[in-house]
Structure 1
């Protein structure tokens, strides 16, 4: 029993497991799954024909625009989820601050855009389904699935937008971040140099500072000079 518990603990402490347990990764994965469900439901059973005609019609009030909207938004949203999931996987290997900052800006922008598109899509698909006069036998489940998962996609993208905006606020702009890094390096170098440099406490000075010493020249005897001249 203890061995099994320790094995599970080691497995949960693995970097890959911790990565997939992050709230951002879980939410992004769910958003991709919901988008794929909307796309696949409308592609497989979104177009049906009546008994009296072989022509295919959209199950959502026979409005082809509704099915096209759900398929297009679902496919693009799914591919974007995969793209940003790849950016999250290789985030630790990217060293360029410009690239990281650009990815954060794009993540915030596209998350807000997809929130609006899924909100419009849910209202549009639900309205067309309520106005449908022909209820197809095989297309009813596809219509309900597309409407349900379009609604579930809205809180996912709202949460992703909030997380991306929070990460963007936590990441300072590039020139400001570079100046902070350079300032920290300068302060660290200055502090290390001041702590390691020591000055002598007792400095010895010469006693006779300011007094100039000149060589003494012998003064000749004046009497001797006078006798020699005479």
Structure 2
């Protein structure tokens, strides 16, 4: 097996090639996750709260439930930071020389991706439910309705993007495990 790649990366070292990096499916999906978190954060933080003239305090557009808005803002912020950190790890990944460290990075990517897929599934269900039971008299002018719908839709899309990252990381882990077993069986013994 020429060109052995440990966990989806070639031999450590070499120059960083941005075009190759951007063409990787994992990078493209991770950038989508990053963008979706920005959209959700922007929608809820910008138009998720309404201030009515007769009330002193603003309220969340999702059924006046501040927990719904807080959940969306918190998770979108954390998701943005997590996506940024794993994009940086993806850039640094080919320079990791230890196969054990690469395996740890791939396993961490799998765990984080599964966690975020579940978090966004819960977020989608929570936001959709709260939007469904919102009362028309709380927001008669439908202020922020499009932003609320966009936050719900992008929460739904985020479930699939993080799920896709999980599958790609699992594939990378399986591919390398197979290559390691192959090399153990068919490589010549060291003298």
Residue pairs, 1:163-182, within 5 angstroms: 163-172=168-177, 180=184
Specify the structure having the higher radius of gyration (Cα): 1
Contact 1:101 1:171 in 2 (8 A): no
| Other structure's SS at 1:90 match | helix
Contact 1:38 1:146 in 2 (8 A): yes
| Other structure's SS at 2:149 match | helix
State which drifts further: 158-167 or 137-146. Answer: 137-146
After TM superposition, the score normalised by the length of structure 1 is 0.68
> How far apart, CA to CA, are the structure 1 residues paired with 2:71 and 2:39?
14
> How far apart, CA to CA, are the structure 2 residues paired with 1:56 and 1:23?
42
1:143 maps to 2:148 = yes
Structure 1 residue runs of 4 or more that deviate by more than 3 Å after TM superposition: none
Task: Say which structure, 1 or 2, has more relative contact order (CA 8 Å, 6+ apart).
Answer: 2
> How far apart, CA to CA, are the structure 1 residues paired with 2:51 and 2:17?
51
Shift of 1:137: 4.0
Deviations 1:1-60 (A, max 9, x none): xxxxxxxxxxxxx93222202111111000110011111211122111123113110110
User: Of residues 66, 69, 85 in structure 2, which corresponds to 1:83?
Assistant: 85
> How far apart, CA to CA, are the structure 2 residues paired with 1:166 and 1:172?
10
User: Of residues 69, 91, 100 in structure 2, which corresponds to 1:67?
Assistant: 69
* Structure 1 partner of 2:187: 184
Deviations 1:157-212 (A, max 9, x none): 11100001111112339xx77x939x83635x5xxxxxxxxxxxxxxxxxxxxxxx
Deviations 1:207-227 (A, max 9, x none): xxxxxxxxxxxxxxxxxxxxx
**How many equivalent pairs are there?**
171
> How far apart, CA to CA, are the structure 1 residues paired with 2:27 and 2:150?
23
RMSD (CA atoms): 2.3
* Structure 1 partner of 2:159: 154
